[in-house]
Amino acid sequence: MQKIPVNEPAISKNALKYVTDCIKTGWISSSGKYLKDFEQKFSKFLGVKHAITTTNGTTALHLAVLALGIKEGDEVILPSHTMMASVAAIVYTGATPVLVDVERDSWNMDVSQIEKKINKRTKAIMPVHIYGHPVDMDPVIALAKKYRLYIIEDAAESTGAEYKGKQTGTIGDIGCFSFYANKIITTGEGGMMVTDNDKVADHARLLKDMAHSPQKRFLHKEIGFNFRMTNLQAALGVAQLEEVKKYIQKKRWMAALYNKRLSKIEGLTLPIEHDWAKNVYWMYGILVEKDFGISRDEFMQKLFRKGIDTRTFFIPMHRQPALRRLGLFKGEKYPVSDEIGRLGLYLPSGLAITKEQIEIVCRAIKDIRNDVQKL
């Protein structure tokens, strides 16, 4: 039986060459030519002034919150349906995360719910472009202008996605990206914070490097952090970035094939793409609705027995024990986040996936549906 992983990265052709160069020259730590090259090429790809490498997507978000001066007593609004890193980056600073529910069709934050959560403590909105589809940003921008709030885009899953022709991560004050092994481009672990604000960029660069004083190293006027990417990781990133357009095309091809094969199967809700959006389908997510005939978890078990790996959608933030122990979200209800968290999963979606593998997955799903109908 062929095993089909939920994700397998594509390693670009120059990766070994660039990483080997780091090893041969001894530039393997947090200095070296590939770090600067990666930042410059990523900023050019996005069309932003500043790109700042970090150790991962979580620290990129943490650095963004720190660089904007958000602190204890401040509040940041974000969706309940997200990965823990989004909330953790806020909590790390002592600030308070404030949740809104999400849309049933896009699975992104319901922007119509944001304004009622804004108060005098609110400092920022954090839209999360979930699974590669952009948030509807115009209403977010309007609210940020009206109430003088920052926008921190969590674009960890949406490298190359577009909102009305503009790339995600470049629309707000700061954008944050992840280069984990399952992302559109990877450095193994790694992240990037981007901005057009010179002052914010300077502060972020200071903080990510232990806040060594620019005038005198080992003199620290504030507490900094070690969020430095290595030259080895950046070398891999440079090689990956050379292939990014091809990777995005591969993701969209994958989604189109899944859509074609699965669209007529009753009981499955497939991912959407709004007219104003370019979805990069970081993962191909589906909902297993009640009328499919079995639960999401039973569906996953049946696929697993056929050698097909899957992953559930995120457990909503208001359901997280670690956050509840902090006294957060008591008595709060986010029914759509709960529902898609219960019904959602993503199918094998990695950049190494083949047409044959997608066909195998789709045939397996059709077989499961046919078996359920016979019961």
Catalytic residue annotation: 183
- Amino acid code (one letter) for 134: P
Cβ-proximal residues to 39 (8 Å cutoff; 6+ apart), any chain: 51, 52, 53, 192
How many CA atoms lie within 13 Å of 79's alpha carbon, on the beta-carbon side? 31
Q: Which residue has the tokens 């009753």?
A: 266
CA distances from 313 to 238, 255, 361 (A): 30, 17, 18
CA distance 316 to 295: 18
Neighbouring C-beta atoms of residue 324, cutoff 10 Å: 13
CA geometry: angle 218, 222, 224, nearest 5 deg: 75
Q: Pick from 237, 241, 225, 347: which is nearest to 286 by CA?
A: 347
Q: Pick from 154, 157, 85: which is nearest to 125 by CA?
A: 154
On the 0-12 / 13-18 / 19+ scale of CB atoms within 10 A, 298 is middle
With beta carbons less than 8 A apart as the criterion, state whether 285 and 341 touch.
no
